[in-house]
Amino acid sequence: MKTPSARTPDGGGRWPLVLLGVILVLVGLVLAVGGVRLATLGGSWYYLITGVVMVVSGLLFALRRMAGFWLFAAVFVGTVVWSLAEVGLDFWPLVPRLAPVLVLGLLAFLVLPRLSLGRVRAPAWAGALVLLAVLVAGGAAMFVPHGVIEGSASAGVGTAAPDATGESRWQYYGRTPSGTRYAPFAQINKDNVHQLEEAWTFRTGDIAGPGSENQNTPTQIGDTVYVCTPHSQVFALDADTGAQKWKFDPKADAKIWNRCRGVAYYEPAAVTARVGDVPAPAPAPTCAQRIVLTTVDARMIQLDAKTGEPCAGFGNGGTVDLKQGMGEVKPLYYFQTSMPTVMRNVVVVGGWVFDGREIDEPSGVVRAFSADTGELVWAWDLGNPNITKLPPPGESYTRSTPNVWSTPAFDDQLGLIYLPTGNNPPDFWGAQRSKASEEYSSSIVAVDVTTGKERWKFQTVHHDIWDYDVPAQPALYDVPDGKGGTVPALIQITKRGQIFMLDRRDGKPIAEVKEQAVPQGGQEGDWTSKTQPYSVGMPSVGTEPLSEARMWGATWFDQLACRIAFKQLRYEGEFTPPTTTPSLIYPGYYGGMNWGSASIDEHNGILVVNDIRMPQLVRLIPRADVDDKKITLSHGVGMHPQSGTPYAITQQAFNSPLGIPCHAPAWGTVTGIDLKTRQIVWQRPAGTVQDAVVSGVKAGVPVPLGMPTLGGPITTAGGLTFYGGTQDYYLRAYDTLTGKELWKGRMPVGGQATPMSYVSPKSGQQYVVMSAGGSRQSPDRGDYVIAYRLKR
């Protein structure tokens, strides 16, 4: 027979009280120990106080003392007050703060009748039901987007109307030379987009495995769609069926950075204004229409658009060696990843250089080649303006100058091409840079299309030691001047989340830019600019400074770990200089906004951008402590040697012990900005965690946290924005005026490319096409090109 003390007067065993007591003691000990560390770092005392009180509460529960319940009630109330004081009613920051005490509070109410010797039953069950209802409501709320700004349906003031006539072409990376990614077609619109279905799927066979990314935006001319693959293969497809017409394989492999964002198109007979003294070619039965390909081993190749055969009259049998004049080019140190830019009768190319390797890297020279013959027409070498073509024998273009790895835009009427420049290698150490490099790093530079001479420049970061290079194609659009007219603008998005609006005639800001003081105290031997430019006349996206209160985690414990980690780091805002003390860069070198670029609904004057919110942890490592044998050929992670400088640098994501970002979501958004009012009109988290993999496990639930994004959006005259660069496997359509999600199509794998749209001249059908090779953080990879159209 059991003794009376082994059972409560409520008729049950005492073990639930002991079990809850043990749980409270263990949780409290973890919080108290971590709380001591956080408090000594100058952080919140909440965890220490809560941990101690929970330990005492747990002991009292185990001893069957009502004081245990009342102490936990104090923890509960205190946690609610503290949480609301830190983050207000912001849903996702509240989840890891309140969910644990809600669950423990539910357990406390369930055992309260035993603890009270049967005296408190009805209030206990009522309290349990209330907390259970709150938990259920909170669980349901996890499947609803939070932080959403929804716009009104009123239209803005634009200049472009739907295109009812003329040939449909997606000829350039941004459809037109202006880089707005606006498709003036309204067959697919807000009223019928829900009827979209898959029209055809083509598989290239070039799966984006390790070291490769499928980032291609197809090119469409007439009844043919041209796609390129990570290894620079080109396919010509029927625009209505996706059937292969031809394939070209240049046999290229860059090992670590394989990607092709697009191929260019050139038609000699269509050129009305020519550049240089290269005569127009006589009509020929072959290569009357040409595809221009740059490869990941630094070649430029022209192909007959009809057959895929190399154009024999271009370069050497159809190929130009882009390493010519570059001096020493070590394997993997220089090649092209972005679409070449065809202007009039020239092809303009920049180049990607291997970030963070050394101070002596290939030049960032930008060159224009004859699109007819492959001859060099002009070169823009920012380190030596006297070199306008090939360097003198025995010399090279100026080495280690800022490069143009992204895509330019051009204004044919003004005769200007706009170059977004990178920062100077080796990225995170600037003491040894030249004066010219300092002037042009992380800038927009306008160059004369006929001569290659600079017209103007505008710098977005001074003395860039954060890898904040200008990553995106500028967008050219005429904005209202407030007097009934318009001003020809250049709109430049940046990794910093800043959006600069400049007069594209002279580079002067249209939206106000202010120089503002930034943190000092960089590593000895280097220096930092005292001020940096801020575009105060345009909204910024994803630039709210980090703080301890913004640290996040799926549980109490990893949020506490992130808070401790944050307090151990140096962080003074986006321009915290890298030093031998670990520090945070945010927005990081992935962005903010990146190479996917922006889109502008030209009819309504709405700018649409997607962004990334991923802080990076960096630290300079003294050269004496660097083991060169352990440095791999990785890009963007691990250690960069920065040879020739006193320091290497380590880089890694700022994640919790569970492998999720340490700061609160959203970690990526899609945003609409009215270019007339220069205000954000809508914003929503980008995608869900459905296909995200954490610690080797796929989440599998469509919780719309808003994930890091790649690729870019497009807008259409049908009032739609299409975007497919989320971490889940969907192409989505949003209402461009309101941001409301109207449709989504499931893809076999994720995407990180920018979609495109065209109207087939044969069927009259409008298509939306997306390359899907796998989102960056996903293990699921593919080789898909998928076209959608309305149900017939």
Positions annotated as catalytic residues are 467
Q: For residue 551, give the DSSP letter.
A: B
Would you give the distance in Å from CA 450 to the centre of its chain?
A: 34
Contact (CB, 8 A) for 712 and 596: yes
Of 197, 133, 173, nearest in space to 473 by CA: 173
Distance CA 789, CA 631 (A): 48
- Strand 714-716 and strand 182-183: the pairing is parallel
Beta strands in 104-251 (DSSP E): 169-170, 182-183, 196-203, 219-221, 224-228, 234-238, 244-248
Give ∠ CA 610-90-493 in degrees, rounded to 5: 20
CB-based contacts of 546, cutoff 8 Å, min separation 6: 566, 571, 584, 586, 615, 663
**Amino acid (one-letter) located at 288:** A
CA 496 from centre of chain: 11
The whole-angstrom separation of Cα 691 and Cα 697 is: 10
Q: How far apart are CA 548 and CA 555, in angstroms?
A: 16
Cβ proximity of 632 and 735 under 8 Å:
no
Token pair 């039901």: residue:
129
Residue 585 CB contacts under 8 Å (≥ 6 apart), including other chains: 466, 467, 574, 576, 578, 615, 616, 618
Give the CB-side neighbour count of residue 360, counting CA atoms within 13 A. 7
Rounded CA separation 232/252 (Å): 7
User: Do the beta carbons of residue 768 and residue 722 sit within 8 Å?
Assistant: yes
Q: How far is CA 21 from CA 114, 129, 489, 720, in A?
A: 13, 21, 66, 56
H-run or E-run covering 6: none
